[in-house]
A and B are shown apart, each in its own frame.
Chain A
């Protein structure tokens, strides 16, 4: 980039001439001599242009794949590969927006002779996702600071942070299931463990299901039915619109991050129960993984939860056309799928989504991270509004897990006790 004048020393010639003129008029030799310093500086500011930052930069990460919540050191090594002395070199590293610099700013001001090397070290706290450092800004100035030149230097470094999947919370599902056997107890009589009903014997019924007690008592044959246990198809839907990126504290984890945590936990517990589970987002950058089961599917979901831009720890740009999104989503949704919907419910849009899904016959369970606080009147009104929204959902027969500060399994347990099957 071309250098430009900082106008830092603007007016020094005029001021000096004024002082000298006063010195001449009052015959004060001291003032005239003082003018020499001023003129010296005026000449100094005209010396040299801002040098071109001819440097090589290397960025090294302490750990390229740390676990979420860990910290990792970043070391910048800057070497002056040009032939000019960079007397005033300022380097500003472009830290990915989701990472927090916790030890020293990612910036350094230095002075490098040709061939000389300096390092800058800082630490970032890592969150889930794929984070890329793209560019650095280099600012050089001439010694007087009257000219400046800014260069952007491309040095790409990628850090991947994939959270492990831990099964933790057993979310009891609704009775909407697939024909495949699984763990969800249904109201269908057949093979199973829990008693369901008895019916008249039909030839061909297995011997072990004949009610022999009744046969002994009355002499008629009847067959026992048990509740069938079947597998469910579940879509885990995350609200990651810009509005959902809210946190109770400025440094706390936001609702989307907590939703993704909940999804990861529920996903692994459901998939290990034999259910078919898929992932979807309600966001401008849409994510859709059709419900399946198996190890490959698990690996794909784990990767998506870590790095998909629609589930990123910071909001993505773009507009969500809600009706279009919903129509597309409902078309993709298998007819027998239930939906687990994670949203902080900070506006009315998710209510509309949940109620429409419910109306279409997909049973909906809502998991809502509570990010409201009670610090100010406004905060309390927001909390009341949110409670009112959840009340509306419960009134519509939608199951709600209100997830505060407690661990997710505790919240699920507390909510499950209230649900009538």
Chain B
């Protein structure tokens, strides 16, 4: 069981490049987490340190209070599936990848794995090197789900998969999570598609934490306030909302604000003739991680 994950002032440097910069966050077990960030924001670095694939430059990662790095008791509970599900040699067949996983993974469910391979139409006789990109991703998903590891990490594991296969993945993930509750961390670019699967979302940028919150809370904080420009400005500035983006069309302005809008403020905005619309997670993400020159 993963009770909790604590990441404390985690820094990871590759030569001159700082991939993770004093990043701190905590997760409690038993939830599906989404990890969002732009390319190069440090997602894979973070997940690699979490799975003990990399040693941090400074700071630490603890799972259930125990340091993760080179801690066999902890790492055996983690399944880390990278982009295209790399696990064994390309020359091996899918069935030997299954045997290998059965040997390595204490909770491996071979029957479930077989069912998943069938669902994703991956032949057990195929050589891994000959699989298309999509089928390789599907293989990664099978290895990740059937491992039933207390902590399962999928790092953009959908490359090359078509929409029906991705939706099959989402269905399998949800169902298996409900039948065998455990902790999942999923990093993704396809935010709209998967955001509803997450309970909690972590957004990082330039190796730092931008925001972490429950999806529903995050969504309730992002709103587009639209109306005559002067009225919008008055409302937004009057309450000191954090404006994360604006757009203007003629005299109509739309300000994307981040902050709690209680019912009184909502009523006031409506009375002033303003339109309020919740922002989609994708929009929130884009505006919270937009290049702004200076880090605020």
Mutual binders A and B:
no
Chain A residues with CB under 8 Å of chain B are none
Chain B residues with CB under 8 Å of chain A are none
